[in-house]
A and B are shown apart, each in its own frame.
Chain A
Amino acid sequence: MPWKIGNEKLCRVTDGASKRLTSLLTKQGRPQGALRVAVIGGGCSGLQYKMDLVDGPLPRDILVPSKGVNIVIDPKSALFVSGSELDYSDDLQKGGFKVTNPNAVAHCSCGESFSA
């Protein structure tokens, strides 16, 4: 296989996020699809997450199965996401997907950027 399999130490989803992602992927007609998580420079605290629903892993990716959802991460992003958890809540105020990263020293209030 051209990609590697990682474990939940790298990145994991909560039950809530798993449910939401599964239903999004099913709605999109690709129940076997995956969530791509990337960390790119920029954003208000230096680094920001980009997330996208994709068909599956690509060469050199790391595939992390978590709670029945496949997460795919490119190797460079993997250096920065390590230990992250993706949560989803229906809360009106702070609803939506949110990532917590134990490596981050500063988070911005939107939960989309952080600095490592």
Chain B
Amino acid sequence: MIAGIDLGTTNSLIGVYESGFPTLLADQHGNRITPSVVFYPKNGETLVGREAERQRSLHPDRTISSVKRLIGRRIGEKGTENLLGNKGTAASITIGDRILTPEEISSEILKKLKSIAEDRLGATINRAVITVPAYFNDAQRTSTRRAGELAGFMVERIVSEPTAAALAYGLDRLADQSKVAVYDLGGGTFDLSVLQLDNGVFQVLSTHGDTQLGGDDIDEAIAELVSKKAGISVSSPAATSRLKEAARAAKEILSTADATEVRLPFLEDNRSLEISLTRAEIEQASAPIIRRTRALCMRALQDADLETTDLDQVILVGGSTRMPLVRNFVKEIFGREPNLSQHPDESVALGAILQGAILEGNLQNVALLDVTPLSLGIETFGGLMNVIIPRNTTIPAKAGEMFTNAVTGQQGMRISVLQGERELASDNWMLGSLEIPFPPSPKGAVRVGVQFSIDADGILQVLARDTSTGSEQIIEIKSAVEVSDEAVEAMLAGSLEHAFEDMDARIFTEARLKAEEMLPAVEDALAQLGSDLPEQEVAEILRHAAEVRAALVLKETKRLKLTIAALDESTQILATKLIEKALKA
């Protein structure tokens, strides 16, 4: 099995392709996202992820984050400004008396991911696909590969992040030569990559980014806004980090809500912070940061020699793209709606998993289990579809239900076998029918069991049995599973298009049947017992019955259901008396 790994600047994820679909694996606490943070204690075991993060405020000098910025770098290159060492030598970090290379630190994160996956799967995982930014040079890619090897992986491939994301979005199925822009705004970095699909493989045409631009900057801008609005400025690291945490939480809430409250009791010097914050306010504060991505997008397009109209898709990657402001901004830059069908934080990892599955040859020969392509059922009283075996049930399968006669004196039941997703029988396809006779009986007295069974070859057998006489009828249908993809697609499209009106029609029919059963029963009871009731009560019942009739004529579902409930309520005493009379007799 080949694991797919998104080794991110701020967070990392791992997953595998199993049972036909890519799955991200969670640690024992259920977290699928592991912070890319490593803590080296003076003595004892190295900690990674949330556990390491917790040590940051206590031991800032022993806690390393964003090591990805340093991997494959030499002193003197970008990002190494704060490091010691001779210009041109590989970057390294000194912790206590240890000198650590970025590869070694990255390998700790990878080891942690490996153990999460192995714990989850109960098996050894020693092959992996790891993603890197599109702009990573050879040295950075080689170092990432070495980090994987140090963690005990055979690194099957280093894949660029936008390519992985495009795979997760299923864009490898676009037409050849299709062009895709990948807008990736993560915690600490921004990239815009332009890809082109060449014979099923994505080529990176251009990429531009800013390694110091991301969600963290937005959090800081919001934190600043909050402290300004509250008139409280903080200085201690603890209060600053609480403020930033609250800013991040508010940002996440305001991605869906319009307003929220920020409350930080005893933030600093016994002062508490409490303010309300609106989406408009945080958007105003973060707009300048997001606006900085525009020039980078334009430059990437220019490098690829493309206009925005040449793009076939724009996809979003990175948690920060959850902000509506970012989505609107992307739409404005590219003049089209971005594709939002995937989780922005997970698409790179999912793509890495898919890449692993492709390398293993898993994606070509996915053993798809046979399933029922459409629901199977029978027509019931009122012309409704009654599903017995729902769509997508794995075959072989068996299911049954009991039915009864709807009309007194009925001498048999015709069972129409239907296939389809619509609520009304007439909109589905009839596969066949059978008739089960029974002696005339009062309404509801006959019990007919209907059983559907589909064998592994897709042959459907429908059996109907009158439980009182034991007589039974069987019909065999051979085409229950073989339905063309176009026909399935058309049926599904119709069922989605008419979903609400179909459901309304079903509920109305069910209510109508109930009304048609109730009204004569009420009349009957009134004829027998009406004289025993106060006049006012009888008038009330008659009024409710008239309202039910009116709702039937108007064909209004909601009204019909309400009037039936009211009639039901008003006839409670009548019903009790009816039972008393029956018991006396």
Using A41-B503, A55-B19 as known contacts, say yes or no to A5 and B341 having CB atoms under 8 A apart. Answer: yes
A98 within 8 A of B: no
- The smallest C-beta distance from B100 to any residue of chain A, in angstroms, reads 33
Whether the pair B393, A55 counts as a contact (CB closer than 8 A) is: no
1/0 contact trace for B16-40 toward A, CB 8 Å? 0011111110100010100000000
**Known contacts A1-B170, A1-B354, A5-B343; can you find 4 more A-B pairs with CB under 8 A?**
A5-B342, A31-B120, A41-B506, A75-B492
- The smallest C-beta distance from B28 to any residue of chain A, in angstroms, reads 10
B381 within 8 A of A: no
Interface size class, chain B = 35 or more
Whether the pair A46, B510 counts as a contact (CB closer than 8 A) is: yes
Assembled-state Cα–Cα distance A87/B487 (Å): 36
Whether the pair A32, B496 counts as a contact (CB closer than 8 A) is: no
A111 within 8 A of B: no
Sampled A-B contacts (14; CB under 8 Å): A1-B21, A1-B168, A36-B392, A40-B390, A41-B385, A46-B503, A56-B21, A65-B32, A68-B26, A70-B23, A75-B496, A76-B499, A115-B561, A116-B503
A79 within 8 A of B: yes
Contact with A41, one of B18, B30, B371, B423 (Cβ below 8 angstroms) = B423
- The smallest C-beta distance from A112 to any residue of chain B, in angstroms, reads 14
1/0 contact trace for A31-62 toward B, CB 8 Å? 11100101011100011001010111110110
Contact with B392, one of A4, A30, A74, A80 (Cβ below 8 angstroms) = A74
1/0 contact trace for B143-162 toward A, CB 8 Å? 00000000000000000000
Q: Which residues of B contact A115 (CB under 8 A)?
A: 507, 561
Assembled-state Cα–Cα distance A60/B369 (Å): 15
1/0 contact trace for B484-510 toward A, CB 8 Å? 000000001001100110010011001
Using A1-B168, A56-B19 as known contacts, say yes or no to A79 and B343 having CB atoms under 8 A apart. Answer: no
A2 within 8 A of B: yes
- The smallest C-beta distance from A107 to any residue of chain B, in angstroms, reads 14
Assembled-state Cα–Cα distance A2/B346 (Å): 17
Chain B residue nearest to A7 (CB atoms) is: B343
Q: Which residues of B contact A21 (CB under 8 A)?
A: none
B419 within 8 A of A: no
Residues of A within 8 A of B (CB): 1-5, 7, 18, 30-33, 36, 38, 40-42, 46-47, 50, 52, 54-58, 60-61, 63, 65, 67-68, 70, 74-76, 79-80, 115-116
Assembled-state Cα–Cα distance A7/B387 (Å): 28
B391 within 8 A of A: yes
From A18, A61, A76, residue with most partner B Cβ within 10 Å: A76
B193 within 8 A of A: no
Contact with B492, one of A41, A56, A76 (Cβ below 8 angstroms) = A76
B468 within 8 A of A: no
Assembled-state Cα–Cα distance A108/B121 (Å): 40
Using A40-B390, A41-B387, A74-B392 as known contacts, say yes or no to A30 and B503 having CB atoms under 8 A apart. Answer: no
Q: Which residues of A contact B500 (CB under 8 A)?
A: 79
Q: Which residues of A contact B342 (CB under 8 A)?
A: 5
B104 within 8 A of A: no
Q: Which residues of A contact B20 (CB under 8 A)?
A: 55-56
Whether the pair A79, B499 counts as a contact (CB closer than 8 A) is: yes
